[in-house]
Amino acid sequence: MAKPLIRFQRSLWLRCMTELQFRSHGRHESGCFILGTVKGDKRQAHRCVFYDELDPQAYSIGVCILQGDSFTRLWEICRAEKLTVIADIHTHPAGAFQSEVDRTNPMIARAGHLAIIVPNYAFGWIWRHRLGVFHYEGDHRWTNLSGWQARSVLKVSWGLI
């Protein structure tokens, strides 16, 4: 299978990272779904929907947890805007590793989904090769595309691509 590719306009990427940092308060995880369009293995990001917009209690225990009705709201947004969930992003306090909870509880349990983990609650400069990037294969199996591979999976540019 070809490596997936997700493209962000720089302004959207920076807004997303700034909001993740703000929403974490430097004390707990924060996260969002990336909505966009898909053509084959290429995904174009159009907007972020933050977990606490879907569930005000999403960060209440320090890690990202969404109740089932949050997904109903998410699917309503996708239908109304004619977009699909192309990835999810969440922060970790230190490294961008995939925890056992992350591995066994994908936010979107559909083969082909991308999960991106941002270290240090998104504080500081965010280098793509320091992100955790994981491609869901289905049946709780993931391909790790982190490190320098992340630079070929995640593209950030000045304009629409």
pLDDT digits (tens, 9 = 90+) for 64-102: 989 889 999 999 999 999 999 999 999 999 889 898 888
- Domains defined for the chain, CATH in brackets: 5-156 (3.40.140.10)
* Confidence band for 159, pLDDT divided at 50, 70 and 90: low
Q: Measured between alpha carbons, how far is 111 from 76 in angstroms, rounded to an integer?
A: 21
pTM above 0.85, yes or no: yes
pLDDT at 2: 61
pLDDT digits (tens, 9 = 90+) for 8-50: 999 999 999 999 999 999 999 999 999 999 998 899 999 999 9
What strand order describes the sheet that includes 132-138? 141-144, 132-138, 114-118, 84-91, 31-39, 42-50, 5-9, 154-157
Say which residue the tokens 């999960």 belong to.
115
Q: Measured between alpha carbons, how far is 114 from 122 in angstroms, rounded to an integer?
A: 18
